[in-house]
Amino acid sequence: MAAAATARLLLLATAACAANAGSAQAHFSLENRWKVRDFYTAAYPVPAGLEMGWTGSYAEGNAGRLSREWLAAVETRINFFRSMAGVPADVTLTEALSARAQAAAFLLSVNWQPDEDPEVDPHRPPTTWTFFTDEAAEATARSNIGYGVQGPRAVTDYINDYGPSNHWVGHRRWLLYPQTREMGAGDAPGEGNSGFGTTNAIYVIGTPNQREERPPTRDDFVAWPPPGHVPSDLVFARWSLSYPGADFSAAEVTMRVEGTPVEVAKESLSPASSQIGEPTLVWVPEGFDPRTSHPWPTPDEDETVAITVANVKVGSATRSFSYEVTVFDPAQPGPGETPTALEGPEELLTGEVGSFSVTSRPWAEASELRILRMGGPPPFYGAEALPLPLVRSLSPGYEPRQRDRVANGGHAFHLVMPRPEDQILMLPGEYLVTGQVPALLLQSSLGYATESQAAVIEVNPSGTEGGWREVWRQRGTKEATQSDGFTGIRADLSAYRDQVVLLRLRYTKETGNYYNQTGPEFGWAIDDISLEGLLPIETIEAHPLVGAGQPHRLTFSTADHLYLQARDIAFGGVPLAWGPVRELLIRNSDGPVVRPEEWSEDGVLGWLKGASNPAWGYSPFMGWAYLGAYPWIYLGNRWYFVVAGNAREALWLYRPDIGYVLANAAYEGWFQLAPYDNSLWSRFSMSDP
């Protein structure tokens, strides 16, 4: 039972012209930890269920095309890294360049076997390769290319630039080249049984913008990791600093982690005859292996790394660059972070307009509100009936259901890994976590899986793609750790009480080998999924966006028991995490209700509602009143009108069981209250309200 090969990254360096100058441009700042964490959590992850949508055919030699959504995710990932690095983040994947990259990826998928023939240079494919074309061959020479990687993940691997042949971090340099405005992207899915590999190509070299003047960058130089706050899983073994026209041959690097010196090893410089983006110095901190993709260990507390790159020759001058990188755990909120909460009434009458304000982040552009209605008891999810009740995000080539390894009944869910990518089953809909001991329960059996593979249960309380949090994990041991046996698992969700969550099961891998077989003895078998202390959300009603600092106004026509949530919108339209849930009770109203903007001040009655409708008004002193010829007065359960008098001239009278009413002095303290069903005469003691 062989394990699949790990990913390979290769790049060919070619010449490109660069110059200094350019117009001023605003850049994303990494000074605020909360803002960077928001940006990472909302903009970095890949949308759930994203599919390549490849239209090609290996049998017909058709390179095909990729789905618009897939290419959009690749473009977003590229611009995310460029934003973090402080270079213009407006790269577009053009149709023409993506067609070339797609041709390159397909040619490599059919022919490139890096483990079997490592001497072949895939950037210069031989004309004897199957489906060779001049366009595809040229594109391989102008692209970042990778084996065993695809889509947005390939972009991250290029920024990482691990591996023994990537000491110049050429992939990184081209993706972060400040002048670049256009790129192209292509992927081939591979067919394991036919020997075709999963390949990626991102066309990065020789685009027209690269001959333009260098635009301003946030930090003057371009570094990875960049100065400021950076999530730990984006800090890799190889550190780099690029500067146009720089000579790093005599440069010296010093690093301190929380004040403690760290030894560094400088990588060899790229030769001057082969320019790769901008001149770059690369170094590796002690304790890191650049041959692997392992990122910086996630710190318990934020770690500040101080860097100085000295003795850099730029023209006739010698320069020194000093900056700090603060490495942080993006799963942990920092000091001063507050959720996007709603403030407003806890109860409303039908027809009444409630105003709800949002406590937004300083960088929010707008806010969004949604209205939730709860359903019945939580369902039970089994694999007996088709279609399966869970939402799938899987590699092609297998069904997530089998009958050979089950806990109860005739079938169980099944996750394997024909490709080195996450296999996901998501519970449908969203759930409100309630109860004293809320939990997700299931029967689990982990079969053959390497130490790099793991079964994971995750919860997402924020609604963003990056909001997933692990609540249970089991790693593989190469052997079938549970054979045909199942173990009952209870994933505690108490930490998410009173929050709305998504839930999913993920079969994942870290760096290393993995079993790519799909037989029933491999991977993760799951059965009998149930929930305790969670209520499914029956309906979700989205409320229109409002500008930052503006209130949301809601009105309802029927009595109801609702839950409200709000979230901020930032970074050019990116939704951030949903805030805490708050309840709202809607009660039936037995009187008229008018809008809050219809308040006005009356000299006799005080502040009135209903000014735009002369027939009705509301005074805090007397309640709802009909302001027609004979004022009506609402006394808690019935409506009355005064036989004589004028709302602006009458005498106020008060009785505890009725409240404030209007009278006419000519009646000597007597006046008639006339309900719909009978007449009632009352005498009041005179008093001044």
User: What digits encode the pLDDT tens for the residues 395-423?
Assistant: 888 999 999 999 999 999 999 999 888 89
Both tokens of 230, joined, read 């950076």
Other beta carbons less than 10 A from residue 267's beta carbon? 19
Task: Give this prediction's pTM.
Answer: 0.78
The closest of 103, 132, 128 to 117, measured between CA atoms, is 128
Q: What pLDDT is recorded for position 348? A: 87
Confidence of residue 331 (pLDDT cuts 50, 70, 90): confident
- The arithmetic mean of pLDDT across residues 142-153, rounded, is 94
* Cα–Cα distance measured from residue 585 to residue 373, given in angstroms and rounded to the nearest whole number: 11
Pairing of strands 182-188, 92-93: parallel
Residue type, 32: N
- The arithmetic mean of pLDDT across residues 469-481, rounded, is 84
Alpha helix ranges (H) inside 249-305 = none
What are the φ and ψ backbone dihedral angles of 670, each rounded to 5 degrees? -100, 140
Confidence of residue 115 (pLDDT cuts 50, 70, 90): confident
Other beta carbons less than 10 A from residue 405's beta carbon? 24
Other beta carbons less than 10 A from residue 322's beta carbon? 11
Q: What pLDDT is recorded for position 560? A: 93
Confidence of residue 480 (pLDDT cuts 50, 70, 90): low
* Cα–Cα distance measured from residue 668 to residue 564, given in angstroms and rounded to the nearest whole number: 54
Is residue 578 over pLDDT 80?
yes
* Cα–Cα distance measured from residue 83 to residue 180, given in angstroms and rounded to the nearest whole number: 13
Q: What pLDDT is recorded for position 193? A: 63
Confidence of residue 424 (pLDDT cuts 50, 70, 90): very high
Kindly give, in sequence order, each residue whose CB lies less than 8 Å from that of residue 272, ignoring residues fewer than 6 positions away.
none
The closest of 301, 303, 239, 248 to 272, measured between CA atoms, is 248
Residues in the chain: 689
Is residue 562 over pLDDT 80?
yes
Which of the residue ranges 345-354, 492-501, 563-572 would you say has the lowest mean pLDDT? 345-354
* Cα–Cα distance measured from residue 120 to residue 9, given in angstroms and rounded to the nearest whole number: 14
Please spell the DSSP secondary structure of 47-75, one letter per residue: PTT-------BTTTTB-----HHHHHHHH
The closest of 179, 600, 583, 232 to 374, measured between CA atoms, is 583
Kindly give, in sequence order, each residue whose CB lies less than 8 Å from that of residue 352, ignoring residues fewer than 6 positions away.
555, 589, 593
Pairing of strands 469-475, 453-460: antiparallel
Percent of the chain with pLDDT over 70: 81
Cβ atoms of 349 and 557 closer than 8 Å? no
Is residue 222 over pLDDT 50?
yes
Q: What pLDDT is recorded for position 139? A: 97
Left, alpha or beta for 571 (phi > 0: left; psi -120 to 50: alpha)? left
Both tokens of 207, joined, read 């685009």
* Cα–Cα distance measured from residue 108 to residue 660, given in angstroms and rounded to the nearest whole number: 87
Asked if the peptide bond before residue 125 counts as cis, ω within 30 degrees of 0, the response is: no
Exposure b/e, 673-689, CB count within 10 A at least 16 = b: bbeeeeeeeeeeeeeee
What are the φ and ψ backbone dihedral angles of 496, each rounded to 5 degrees? -115, 20
DSSP 8-state code for residue 420: S
What are the φ and ψ backbone dihedral angles of 416, each rounded to 5 degrees? -130, -175
Q: At what angle do helices 134-141 and 95-111 cross, to 10 degrees?
A: 100
What are the φ and ψ backbone dihedral angles of 321, each rounded to 5 degrees? -120, 125
The closest of 589, 503, 569, 556 to 373, measured between CA atoms, is 556
Residue type, 260: T
DSSP three-state, residue 661: strand
On average, the pLDDT of the chain sits at 84
Cβ atoms of 306 and 324 closer than 8 Å? yes
The 3-class SS string of 436-494 reads: CCCEEEEEEEECECCCCEEEEEEEECCCCCCCCEEEEEEECECEECCCCCCEEEEEECH
* Cα–Cα distance measured from residue 340 to residue 467, given in angstroms and rounded to the nearest whole number: 15
Q: What pLDDT is recorded for position 231? A: 97
Q: What pLDDT is recorded for position 465? A: 78
Q: What pLDDT is recorded for position 420? A: 81
